[in-house]
């Protein structure tokens, strides 16, 4: 009779465990849908107002929280079962095995996530990783800022896991505190590489009316501009710069 409440508690927690696993499966289905959408139309993230990446991030956060809740409920169940079984090293060994199993599950989820990355995204990651030491254009203001600020900066590191690019502003403006060099950690969408001088495929002819980013003479600051005429030798940015400002 005294063990009945314990059994009831175990059954309640097993139901909770089943619920968490079903929710995880639902979230993973949504994550896979987002992956397929981004693989089919990767250019959608470039459109103003698109929230695909934010939704994907929130889904990963939800999946992480559900996984952690599953670990918590599993540990509670182990403790409840241990209280009904003879004490000894067996219970401790089981807890250790479950902990190791959960760690392996987290690693598998990470590997699965890496495998689901589309070839185009994988190529883009490799391209950004190869930018170390090169100059690029970077938007250093937040996405919701009223005014965009773009500068020519130097890439000093690319984090493959967070997909963040660390850049160095080698010539900060007069209003910078202390007047020293400043570093930024920015998302890939805030970085735009320059065309390669030895790769004609990265350059493009700009027709009048195109919206581009241009460099203030004698500075590293960039501003939005419209092409009026095209001289023989032009040093504008590649196509990704144009598409971002076609509606300016």
**How far apart (Å, rounded) are the C-alpha atoms in residues 179 and 177?**
5
Q: CA 179 from chain center: how many Å?
A: 31
Residue 192 belongs to what H/E stretch?
strand 191-193
Q: Which fold would CATH assign to domain 128-173+180-194? A: SH3 type barrels. (2.30.30)
What is the pLDDT at residue 246? Answer: 40
What is the pLDDT at residue 240? Answer: 44
CB 191 within 8 A of CB 165: yes
CB 192 within 8 A of CB 137: yes
Residue 208 belongs to what H/E stretch?
none
Q: Do domains 128-173+180-194 and 196-247 have the same CATH topology?
A: yes
**How far apart (Å, rounded) are the C-alpha atoms in residues 182 and 178?**
10
Q: How many CB atoms lie within 10 A of CB 153?
A: 26
* Long-range CB contacts (within 8 A, 24+) of 54-58: 56/31
CB 151 within 8 A of CB 170: no
Q: Does position 130 have pLDDT exceeding 60, yes or no?
A: yes
What is the pLDDT at residue 1? Answer: 41
Q: What residue spans define the domains of the chain? A: 11-40+64-76, 128-173+180-194, 196-247
What is the pLDDT at residue 206? Answer: 74
**How far apart (Å, rounded) are the C-alpha atoms in residues 214 and 225?**
6
**How far apart (Å, rounded) are the C-alpha atoms in residues 6 and 1?**
10
- Looking at domain 196-247, which CATH architecture does it have? Roll (2.30)
Which residues lie below 8 Å from residue 242, measured CB to CB, with a gap of 6+?
204, 206, 210, 211, 212
> Each residue of 141-190: pLDDT tens digit?
877 777 888 889 999 999 888 889 999 988 765 554 556 678 889 988 88
In 85-159, where does DSSP find H-type helix? 89-116, 119-129
The token pair at 92 is 């401790």
> Each residue of 94-120: pLDDT tens digit?
566 666 766 766 666 655 555 455 677
> Each residue of 180-216: pLDDT tens digit?
678 889 988 888 888 776 766 666 677 888 888 888 8
Residue 172's φ and ψ, nearest 5 degrees, are: -65, 155
Residue 126 pLDDT level (bands cut at 50, 70, 90): confident
**How far apart (Å, rounded) are the C-alpha atoms in residues 170 and 173?**
10
Arithmetic mean of pLDDT, 129-136: 88
CB 148 within 8 A of CB 178: no
CB 135 within 8 A of CB 194: yes
For the chain, give the percent of residues with pLDDT over 70.
70
Burial 174-184 (b: 16+ CB within 10 A, else e): eeeeeeeebeb
What is the pLDDT at residue 113? Answer: 53
């Amino acid at each position: 009779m005294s063990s009945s409440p314990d059994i009831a508690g175990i059954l309640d927690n097993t139901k909770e465990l089943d619920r968490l696993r079903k929710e995880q499966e639902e979230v993973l289905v949504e994550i896979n849908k987002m992956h397929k959408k981004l693989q089919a139309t990767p250019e959608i993230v470039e459109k103003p107002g698109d929230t695909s990446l934010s939704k994907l991030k929130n889904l990963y956060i939800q999946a992480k929280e559900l996984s952690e809740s599953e670990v918590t409920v599993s540990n509670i169940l182990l403790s409840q079962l241990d209280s009904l079984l003879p004490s000894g090293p067996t219970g401790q060994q089981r807890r250790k095995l479950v902990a190791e199993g959960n760690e392996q599950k987290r690693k598998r989820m990470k590997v699965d996530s890496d495998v689901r990355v589309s070839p185009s995204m994988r190529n883009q990651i490799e391209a950004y990783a190869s930018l170390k030491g090169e100059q690029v254009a970077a938007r250093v203001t937040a996405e919701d800022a009223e005014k965009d600020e773009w500068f020519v900066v130097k890439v000093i590191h690319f984090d493959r896991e967070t997909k963040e690019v660390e850049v160095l502003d080698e010539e900060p403006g007069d209003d910078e505190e202390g007047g020293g060099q400043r570093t930024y950690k920015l998302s890939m969408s805030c970085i735009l590489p320059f065309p390669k001088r030895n790769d004609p495929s990265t350059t493009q002819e700009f027709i009048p009316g195109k919206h581009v980013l241009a460099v203030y003479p004698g500075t590293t600051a960039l501003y939005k501009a419209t092409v009026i005429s095209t001289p023989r030798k032009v040093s504008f940015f590649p196509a990704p710069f144009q598409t971002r400002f076609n509606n300016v």
